[in-house]
Amino acid sequence: MSFKIVFMGTPSFSVPILKAINNSNHKIIEVYSQPPNKKNRGLKVQNSAVHDYAEKLNISVRCPVKLDEESEINHLKKLKPDLVVVVAYGKILPEKLLNIKNLIFLNIHASLLPRWRGAAPIQRAIMKGDKETGISIMKIVPKLDAGPVLIQSKLSIDNEINYEQLSEKMSNLGAKLIIDALELIKNNKANFTPQDESKVIYAKKIEKIESKINWNESAEEILAKIRAFYPNPGNWFELNGARIKIIKALEVERTGKVGAVIDDNKMIIACKKNALQILELKKEGKKLMKANEFLKGNKIKIGQILG
């Protein structure tokens, strides 16, 4: 038995999962993705990563602005899918859609639910210093990421991994896990377990203000943000009116006035606890540089406070 599946996803994170389902014995009958965005000051319209990949597979792509209109509800009903698989789609599915009879909506979520429900589970796990994370496949219900869980798998988080690297690992894990989940459903072995509401933690959306370095945090906390926000939006400070994005740094046991340069040769900045030695950085509009290369053309002084 093979399932007829509607796939909903948008960013590159979703692509390996789309690929895995397409390569299985199940059939994707249509792909939903966010509408194309205008890039480069509106000069070019760009499809999502899922949209582009689905077109390569010759699968029909649908990009509705709203999902709660009767035309959209009826369209999905007419497709008669067995399952809808949702991966980082970027829209909350309306209750009217979820109430379609005899249709299971599965979500692939990048955390070990009920920990880190919400928009930014990978970033928040890194920022919090979690030692492990994972993928949860659950049934979608009207409440955000609150549905019963079918299957989970864990991944460790080491002290060096950044968002980009961890996201890729989790995407590949999700690609494997969705095939396992479909097999459980196909063989009538699916057991959906309710989440423990007493252990819920929310991963709220990353706000722009969070990407600006706060030297009044510990070096450990700032390092976690540098990794969590790589490559975007990045973690930055101001120097002579320009934004400087830190790409790589390390914690050193040094003290000084918070936010002040305490070593102008090694670019060491004092934090609330310990200090940060900047190793690689990127000035806005410029290429990535090693800190020692940057200092040749951008002098800093001991005692200088960085914004």
Q: What is the 3-state secondary structure (H, E, C) of 254-295?
A: CCCCCCEEEECCCCEEECCCCEEEEEEEEECCCCEEEHHHHH
- The residues spanned by each domain of the chain are 4-203, 208-297
**Tens-place pLDDT, residues 85-117:** 999 999 999 999 999 999 999 999 999 999 999
Distances (CA, A) of 214 to 99, 217, 260: 45, 6, 12
Can you spell out the DSSP letters for 164-211? HHHHHHHHHHHHHHHHHHHHHHHTT---PBPP-GGG-EEEPPPPGGGG
Mean pLDDT of 212-224: 98
pLDDT reported for residue 41: 60
Q: pLDDT band at residue 299, thresholds of 50, 70 and 90?
A: confident
pLDDT reported for residue 1: 81
pLDDT reported for residue 38: 72
**Tens-place pLDDT, residues 43-54:** 678 999 999 999
Domains 4-203 and 208-297 share a fold: no
pLDDT reported for residue 307: 85
**Tens-place pLDDT, residues 150-208:** 999 999 999 999 999 999 999 999 999 999 999 999 999 999 999 999 999 999 999 99
Tokens of 253: 């046991």
Q: Could you give the angle at the alpha carbon of 65 between the alpha carbons of 64 and 66, nearest 5°?
A: 90
CATH match of 208-297 with 3.40.50.2300: no
Distance linking the first and last C-alpha atoms of the chain:
61
CATH code for residues 4-203: 3.40.50.170
Mean pLDDT of 264-282: 97
Q: What is the mean pLDDT of the chain?
A: 96
Partnered with residue 109 across adjacent β-strands are 136
Q: How far apart are CA 133 and CA 145, in angstroms?
A: 16
